[in-house]
Structure 1
Amino acid sequence: MIVRLILTYIVLVGLTTVSLSQSKDDGSGPTRIGRTPKTYPDYDKAVIPANIAPLNMVVDEKADVFTVRIKGQQGEAIELSSRSGKINIPIGQWRKLIKVNRGMRISIDVLAGSNGKWSLFEPLELTVADAEIDRYLVYRAMHPTHQHVASPIRITCRDLTTFRDWTILDGARLDNACINCHSFPANRPDQMLVGIRSSHFGIATLATRPDGHVEKIAAKFGYTSWHPSGDMAAYSINNLPMFYHAARPEPRDTVDLDSMIACYRPKSGQISLVPPLTDKQQLETWPTWSADGKYLYYCTTSKPWPERTEIPPAGYDQVRYDLMRIHFDPNTGAWGQGELVLSAKTVGGSIAMPRCSLDGRWISFCRCSYGFFPTWQHDSDIYLLDLTNGSYRIAIAEPKAQSWPCWSSNSRFLAFSSKSQDDQFTRIMICYVDPNGNLGRPFVVPQEDPLVYRSTLWAYNTPELLKDKPAISANRLYRAAMARPSVKPNLPVTSATPKAATFRPPGARD
């Protein structure tokens, strides 16, 4: 039956190639529908990497059967048929098609059949970029939490050229620990920092080394950025209480009561403060290194409240962060003084989550109404700052929050978290960026089952793109997390310093 439908489709396509602009209402061919079909996910007009996994989708139209033809300017077309509307594209055929159509367009024709009659929609169109994305995506999967209670959290790795994924670290194996703030140097997997917060195993940061060794550092690293050399990592120390709104689409909110920036050097295990970035009258957060490692960019604002204050403090929704940078000499380790790059007043909002592209041309950042955490603000959009001339422009604007942008190693793609697909659940999306900063239409990371995003209770955030597969053993990570800290830094205690949880060996109970 399926073979006959495919043959029927081929015949029908042959009948319509003479004059697709004419509607066929006389029964001699399919009726032309003057619009594209509704599909989920919606990949129409997307610009896709030349190595991305198949864009499986569901045709959201009423019909008894669907036939689909995916064709490019070169190569053999892919022909599929489905009664449910679910279109699962064979990975081998897909790879061949996008390989020979690199830098060109692909179209997807959809025929819908009911009661012996056929309807032909306007074709969906894709553009295959003349660039590949880093093969591996590391992200955090979690259930949205509205209280400080145990909730599943995993650090997961996905092969973007296939549908294979696996868990790097699961909080369930660490007494439902919170796992966060994973980071890597310059899209390389040989070193990683990841924070854990466990009632049994304490507050700590795991640091992996190229030789596979894992250190447990008795300090909570906040938002972290590796120097491109891998010799040091800058991180923020924050005091971030949650609070809740009674009436708005996103009830959760947070405020940065106190923060500063420190540096960790993995070879020595030394942690030190960055003196210009520890001003008690300022809030300094979101460090990110320039591609050449000579500047550390960060976000800052004046601290408007005293050490002891109510939650949330008065005026919290008037706090807006500027984008700054400070010079660093890798040879001497000397720091310069902070200088303004882009002000909150100039962009008309607060700047957060800056990330530098590895070609040295761009900084992506989030702009939101106030504060430092755009994920919980519906008006958060992603901007691009051109470092060659200081100009900036909106890059990704959607009705829902866009956050956590990160760059591919070739600076041609952004991966980011978005609520554009769903009000409550962040999904990871990919967007092409050409050398001049022009962006293609973003698309959600494809799944083997295209209906996954409609049924899963997992939210996906904090994407990081990697050139190679993380080689660290999960068992080594768990053993290190359950052990006593191997590095105990001596830092001054401020209100931004998290209180250490008491370490208890495995099996201990409250």
Structure 2
Amino acid sequence: MNNGFKNIILSTLCVMMSLVVASCTPSVPENAVDNGKDVTVFPDYTDVYIPYNIAPLNFHIYDSLATDFVSVVEDKSGNRLVAGGEDAQFDEDDWHTMLEANKGGDLTVTVYARIDDQWERFKPFKFHVAEEPIDEYISYRYIEASYKNYNELSICQRNLTNFDESVIISNKYLGGIDASSEYQCMNCHNYQNYHTDNFQFHVRYYLGGTIIVRDGKAEKYSLKTDSTIGAGVYTSFHPTEPIIAYSLSHTVQTFLINEADHKIEVLDTLSDLVIYHIDTNEIQIVQNSFNSFETYPSWSPDGKYLYYSSCYFELEGKDTHYELANHYDRIQYDIIRQAYDAKTRQFGEPDTVFKAKELGKSATHARVSPDGRYLLVSVGDFGNFQLHHLESDLYVKDLQTDSLHPLSKMSAMNRAESYHVWSSNGRWILFSTRREDGTYTRLYIGYFDKDGKDYKAFALPQRDPLYNKKLLKAFNLGEFMVEPVKISQQELADVIRKEAVPAKFYSNYEKKTNK
């Protein structure tokens, strides 16, 4: 075959491919009439602020009378993205090209619906494209929306610039020792300063231990010592030092029979704070006073302060669970911080930075913005497990001005807004919410600008816009990452099956009143 004939064939193929692409792209209706109606789409992406590197915001259109749809995203220069059908799914490459060219600008979204033989045009809405990017990766748990079952539980990671998702570790990959064995519960994954060469997570039950990845290599530790009440639970990796803060908690579930919207309350009957020194394999007590319950540690971005939630509750009898369960609505947490000197391993005195109890509220999950200015918390009426509290909302406190206010645009009223994290540039907040159906926890992302203003949040984009409606699992513990986890699932599984290295108690510390 000569070169001329090859060129003819290649040219013909190119033309044919162009015709196929053109035939798959729906045309924009020319004679549509304005119907003056707001369009109903799922997820609700109307008038949201989005990062310029986010995956396409595909959406499903609801209109029972329409037989066809065309959706158009247009920039100020007249460039268009067009998608047909009730599921508006946009080409990824074209989407990124348009967003990159419109940083700091607006995109207009117009939906057309064909009803009988007439095309109608809904009122347009906007995508506001922020100038700041979002971290490219997040990780989260998939877990059954139940009180006990974790037979199908996995920690996964997702590329936010597209729809690629992969499993970091799955309990089904581990399996049981035999047919009668339970699967593992795995939880509380956490990274050092958004990077994945250093991270940790817990494994419970027969292969129990804490998996710590250091410089890309994993090891399994047992953090329970004779001088502490238990192994690590909630966690925070120090941003620069080989140190991890943990709460040590005895957690129970209490089922409420007289509450219409609140069926379960999670309680800590014992709760202390420790830090673990990876280099020396030592556990050091931070707080362990008898009538105070400390939980949810979180380091400040500079590593100079440890923030946590603390509740003082005067116990009268010996049955702590019974006493707490009967007064569950009186258990309210403040936000405390203590200064920390890494060279001396010494903590300063506790300082209450958010007196939530004085407001009749309970505050948890203290997270300080990367610039050190804003304190982000979940605020509910009582308790520390806001995942089950529909009234829980996100609040931010300006640590410079001491002002406090709810993120009223980002939060949805009475929809259990809880576990939240900042992106590495401080412009995006990833949080958990039950705003879609009140049962399944989903991940949403909201924009927080340089002036401290919040904006309407949007659902984690999915290739199938109805993904959240079809998924019978909950998202849990979303975390931002600037890179993917690189260690393989096989390497992690091999370490999980090993015996745990027992931690030592750091005795050069004057213990407080023991429980």
TM-score under structure 1 normalisation? 0.88
Contact 1:286 1:352 in 2 (8 A): yes
Q: How does 1:62-77 map to 2 (within 5 A)?
A: 62=64, 63-74=66-77, 76-77=79-80
Q: How does 1:206-355 map to 2 (within 5 A)?
A: 206-219=211-224, 220-246=231-257, 247-274=259-286, 277-305=287-315, 306-311=317-322, 313-355=325-367
Q: How many residues align?
A: 473
SS at match of 1:132: coil
Unaligned stretches of 5+ in structure 2? 1-19, 177-182, 225-230
| 2:368 alignment partner in structure 1 | 356
Q: How does 1:63-462 map to 2 (within 5 A)?
A: 63-74=66-77, 76-82=79-85, 85-146=86-147, 148-172=148-172, 173-175=174-176, 176-198=183-205, 200-201=206-207, 203-219=208-224, 220-246=231-257, 247-274=259-286, 277-305=287-315, 306-311=317-322, 313-395=325-407, 396-462=411-477
**1:304-333 residue CA offsets vs partner (Å, 9 max, x unmatched):** 334533445321211111111111112222
Contact 1:174 1:478 in 2 (8 A): no
Contact 1:295 1:328 in 2 (8 A): yes
**CA separation of 1:104 and 1:298: change in aligned 2, threshold 3 A:** same
SS at match of 1:388: coil
2:375 maps to a residue whose letter is: I
User: How far apart, CA to CA, are the structure 1 residues paired with 2:477 and 2:486?
Assistant: 20
Contact 1:286 1:354 in 2 (8 A): yes
TM-score under structure 2 normalisation? 0.87
1:47 aligns with 2:49: yes
2:33 maps to a residue whose letter is: T
User: How far apart, CA to CA, are the structure 2 residues paired with 1:94 and 1:350?
Assistant: 42
SS at match of 2:157: strand
Deviation of 1:79 (Å): 1.6
Contact 1:216 1:480 in 2 (8 A): no
User: How far apart, CA to CA, are the structure 2 residues paired with 1:457 and 1:351?
Assistant: 29
Contact 2:292 2:311 in 1 (8 A): yes
Deviation of 1:289 (Å): 1.0
**1:185-217 residue CA offsets vs partner (Å, 9 max, x unmatched):** 22111111101112x31x311100114233333
Deviation of 1:488 (Å): 3.4
Moved more, 128-137 or 481-490: 481-490
Deviation of 1:249 (Å): 2.7
**CA separation of 1:2 and 1:330: change in aligned 2, threshold 3 A:** closer
2:327 maps to a residue whose letter is: G
User: How far apart, CA to CA, are the structure 1 residues paired with 2:210 and 2:357?
Assistant: 35
Deviation of 1:228 (Å): 1.0
Q: How does 1:427-506 map to 2 (within 5 A)?
A: 427-490=442-505
**CA separation of 1:480 and 1:261: change in aligned 2, threshold 3 A:** same
**CA separation of 1:126 and 1:280: change in aligned 2, threshold 3 A:** same
Q: Percent identity?
A: 27
**CA separation of 1:2 and 1:409: change in aligned 2, threshold 3 A:** closer
User: How far apart, CA to CA, are the structure 2 residues paired with 1:472 and 1:6?
Assistant: 41
Deviation of 1:458 (Å): 0.9
**1:159-206 residue CA offsets vs partner (Å, 9 max, x unmatched):** 0001010111112224311111111122111111101112x31x3111
User: How far apart, CA to CA, are the structure 1 residues paired with 2:428 and 2:46?
Assistant: 18
Contact 1:359 1:411 in 2 (8 A): yes
**CA separation of 1:70 and 1:149: change in aligned 2, threshold 3 A:** closer
SS at match of 2:145: coil
**1:24-54 residue CA offsets vs partner (Å, 9 max, x unmatched):** xxxxx32212122111111001111111000
| 1:34 alignment partner in structure 2 | 36
| 1:502 alignment partner in structure 2 | none
Deviation of 1:133 (Å): 0.7
Deviation of 1:74 (Å): 4.2
Contact 1:264 1:270 in 2 (8 A): yes
User: How far apart, CA to CA, are the structure 2 residues paired with 1:169 and 1:6?
Assistant: 39
Contact 1:110 1:123 in 2 (8 A): yes
**1:419-464 residue CA offsets vs partner (Å, 9 max, x unmatched):** 0012110000000000111011101101111111111101002110
Deviation of 1:76 (Å): 2.4
**1:390-420 residue CA offsets vs partner (Å, 9 max, x unmatched):** 1111012422100001010000000000000
Contact 1:30 1:119 in 2 (8 A): yes
**CA separation of 1:207 and 1:107: change in aligned 2, threshold 3 A:** same
**CA separation of 1:30 and 1:211: change in aligned 2, threshold 3 A:** closer
SS at match of 1:457: coil
Contact 1:74 1:97 in 2 (8 A): no
Deviation of 1:348 (Å): 3.0
2:237 maps to a residue whose letter is: W
2:67 maps to a residue whose letter is: D
| 2:3 alignment partner in structure 1 | none
Unaligned stretches of 5+ in structure 1? 13-28, 498-510
**CA separation of 1:150 and 1:127: change in aligned 2, threshold 3 A:** closer
Deviation of 1:300 (Å): 0.9
Contact 1:320 1:371 in 2 (8 A): yes
Deviation of 1:478 (Å): 0.8
SS at match of 2:329: helix
What is the RMSD of the two structures over their aligned residues, measured on CA atoms? 2.3
